[in-house]
Chain A
Amino acid sequence: MTTSTLPGGAAPSLDERLKRANPLVKALRRPEVGAGVAAILIFIFFSVVTDSFLTPAGVSTWLYSASLYGIMAVAVALLMIGGEFDLSAGAMTGTTGLMVGVLTTWYGLSVWVALIIALAFALGIGFFNGIIVMKTGLPSFIVTLGTFFILQGINLAVTKLITGQVAIQGMTNVPGYSGVKAIFGESIGFGSSGFHLETAVIWWVVITIIATVVLMRTRAGNWIFAVGGQLQSARQTGVPVNRTKIGLFMTTAGCGWLVGMLSLFDVGTVQATTGIGDEFIYIICAVVGGCLLTGGFGSAAGAAIGALIYGMTLQGIVFAQWDNNWLKAFLGAMLLLAVLINLYVRRQAGGRE
Chain B
Amino acid sequence: MNENEEVADERVLEKALARDSAPPETGAAGTVPGSELLTDAVDMSIVGEPAILEVRDIGKTYGSIIALKGVSASVSASEVLCVLGDNGAGKSTFIKILAGAHDYSSGALLVDGVKRHFSSPRAALDAGVATVYQDLAVVPLMPVWRNFFLGSELSSAGMLKVRQMKAITKQELGKMGIDLRDVDQPIGTLSGGERQSVAIARAVYFGARVVILDEPTSALGVKQAGVVLKYIARARDNGLGVVFITHNPHHAYPVGDRFLLLKRGVSLGLYDKSEIAIDELTGLMAGGAELEALAHELARA
The interface of chain A, by Cβ under 8 A from chain B, is 1, 3-6, 9-11, 13-15, 17-18, 217-219, 221-223, 225-226, 229-230, 232-234, 236-239, 292, 296-297, 346, 349-353
Please pick, from B150, B188, B221, the residue contacting A4 in the complex, using a CB distance under 8 A. Answer: B221
Which residues of chain B have C-beta atoms less than 8 A from A352's C-beta?
A: 140, 188-189
> A54 to nearest B CB, angstroms?
38
Contact B135 A232 (CB under 8 A): yes
Contact A236 B133 (CB under 8 A): yes
CA A237 to CA B133, docked complex, whole Å: 11
Contact B189 A17 (CB under 8 A): yes
Question: Does B193 count as interface, using CB distance less than 8 angstroms?
Answer: yes
Please pick, from B137, B155, B159, the residue contacting A233 in the complex, using a CB distance under 8 A. Answer: B137
Which residues of chain B have C-beta atoms less than 8 A from A225's C-beta?
A: 139, 141-142, 146
Which residues of chain B have C-beta atoms less than 8 A from A239's C-beta?
A: 150-151
CA A13 to CA B179, docked complex, whole Å: 11
Kindly list the 10 A-B residue pairs having the minimum CB-CB distance in the complex, ordered from nearest.
A4-B221, A350-B188, A237-B151, A350-B186, A229-B139, A238-B151, A236-B137, A3-B191, A230-B139, A233-B137
Please pick, from A5, A9, A238, the residue contacting B152 in the complex, using a CB distance under 8 A. Answer: A238
Which residues of chain B have C-beta atoms less than 8 A from A9's C-beta?
A: 227, 230
Of all chain A residues, the one with the shortest Cβ separation from B197 is A10
Question: Does B222 count as interface, using CB distance less than 8 angstroms?
Answer: yes
Which residues of chain A have C-beta atoms less than 8 A from B185's C-beta?
A: 18
B residues 158-188 touching A (CB-CB < 8 Å): 158-160, 162, 177-182, 185-188
CA A234 to CA B146, docked complex, whole Å: 12
Which residues of chain B have C-beta atoms less than 8 A from A3's C-beta?
A: 191-193, 221, 223-224
Which residues of chain B have C-beta atoms less than 8 A from A350's C-beta?
A: 140-141, 186-189
Which residues of chain A have C-beta atoms less than 8 A from B181's C-beta?
A: 14-15, 18
Question: Does B153 count as interface, using CB distance less than 8 angstroms?
Answer: yes
> B20 to nearest A CB, angstroms?
61
> B157 to nearest A CB, angstroms?
10
CA A292 to CA B185, docked complex, whole Å: 18
Question: Does B44 count as interface, using CB distance less than 8 angstroms?
Answer: no
Which residues of chain B have C-beta atoms less than 8 A from A230's C-beta?
A: 138-140
Which residues of chain A have C-beta atoms less than 8 A from B152's C-beta?
A: 237-238
> B92 to nearest A CB, angstroms?
16
Contact B227 A10 (CB under 8 A): yes
Contact A353 B191 (CB under 8 A): no
Of all chain A residues, the one with the shortest Cβ separation from B225 is A4
CA A15 to CA B189, docked complex, whole Å: 12
24 contacts between A and B (CB under 8 A): A1-B224, A4-B223, A4-B224, A10-B193, A10-B227, A11-B177, A14-B179, A14-B181, A18-B181, A18-B182, A18-B185, A217-B160, A218-B158, A222-B142, A222-B146, A222-B150, A222-B160, A226-B151, A232-B137, A234-B150, A236-B137, A239-B151, A297-B141, A346-B141
Contact A226 B142 (CB under 8 A): yes
Contact B193 A219 (CB under 8 A): no
Please pick, from A236, A237, A351, the residue contacting B188 in the complex, using a CB distance under 8 A. Answer: A351
> A32 to nearest B CB, angstroms?
16
Question: Does B220 count as interface, using CB distance less than 8 angstroms?
Answer: yes
Of all chain B residues, the one with the shortest Cβ separation from A226 is B139
> A277 to nearest B CB, angstroms?
31
> A239 to nearest B CB, angstroms?
5
CA A17 to CA B191, docked complex, whole Å: 11
CA A222 to CA B160, docked complex, whole Å: 9
> B149 to nearest A CB, angstroms?
8
CA A219 to CA B158, docked complex, whole Å: 7
CA A10 to CA B223, docked complex, whole Å: 10
CA A93 to CA B213, docked complex, whole Å: 50
Please pick, from A18, A219, A353, the residue contacting B160 in the complex, using a CB distance under 8 A. Answer: A219
Q: A219-B153, A234-B151 are in contact. Are A229 and B141 (CB under 8 A)?
A: yes
Contact B153 A222 (CB under 8 A): yes
CA A87 to CA B224, docked complex, whole Å: 44
CA A350 to CA B140, docked complex, whole Å: 6
Contact A353 B188 (CB under 8 A): yes
Contact A14 B188 (CB under 8 A): no
Contact A5 B221 (CB under 8 A): yes
Question: Does B103 count as interface, using CB distance less than 8 angstroms?
Answer: no
Which residues of chain A have C-beta atoms less than 8 A from B54's C-beta?
A: none
Question: Does B15 count as interface, using CB distance less than 8 angstroms?
Answer: no
Please pick, from B133, B142, B180, the residue contacting A229 in the complex, using a CB distance under 8 A. Answer: B142
Output the residue of B141, B155, B227 with the most chain A CB within 10 A: B141
Q: A233-B137, A234-B139, A234-B150 are in contact. Are A218 and B160 (CB under 8 A)?
A: yes
Please pick, from A1, A218, A222, the residue contacting B220 in the complex, using a CB distance under 8 A. Answer: A1
Which residues of chain A have C-beta atoms less than 8 A from B159's C-beta?
A: 217-218
Which residues of chain A have C-beta atoms less than 8 A from B190's C-beta?
A: 14
Contact A218 B186 (CB under 8 A): no
Which residues of chain B have C-beta atoms less than 8 A from A236's C-beta?
A: 121, 133, 137
Which residues of chain B have C-beta atoms less than 8 A from A237's C-beta?
A: 137, 150-152
CA A349 to CA B182, docked complex, whole Å: 14
> A2 to nearest B CB, angstroms?
9
Q: A219-B160, A239-B150, A353-B140 are in contact. Are A6 and B188 (CB under 8 A)?
A: no
Contact B177 A10 (CB under 8 A): yes
CA A14 to CA B224, docked complex, whole Å: 13
Please pick, from A219, A292, A349, the residue contacting B189 in the complex, using a CB distance under 8 A. Answer: A349
Output the residue of A10, A18, A297 with the most chain B CB within 10 A: A10
> A123 to nearest B CB, angstroms?
21
CA A217 to CA B219, docked complex, whole Å: 35
Of all chain A residues, the one with the shortest Cβ separation from B176 is A10
CA A350 to CA B158, docked complex, whole Å: 29
Which residues of chain A have C-beta atoms less than 8 A from B137's C-beta?
A: 232-233, 236-237
Q: Known contacts A6-B223, A232-B135, A352-B140; can you find 4 more A-B pairs with CB under 8 A?
A: A3-B193, A230-B139, A233-B135, A236-B133
CA A236 to CA B192, docked complex, whole Å: 19
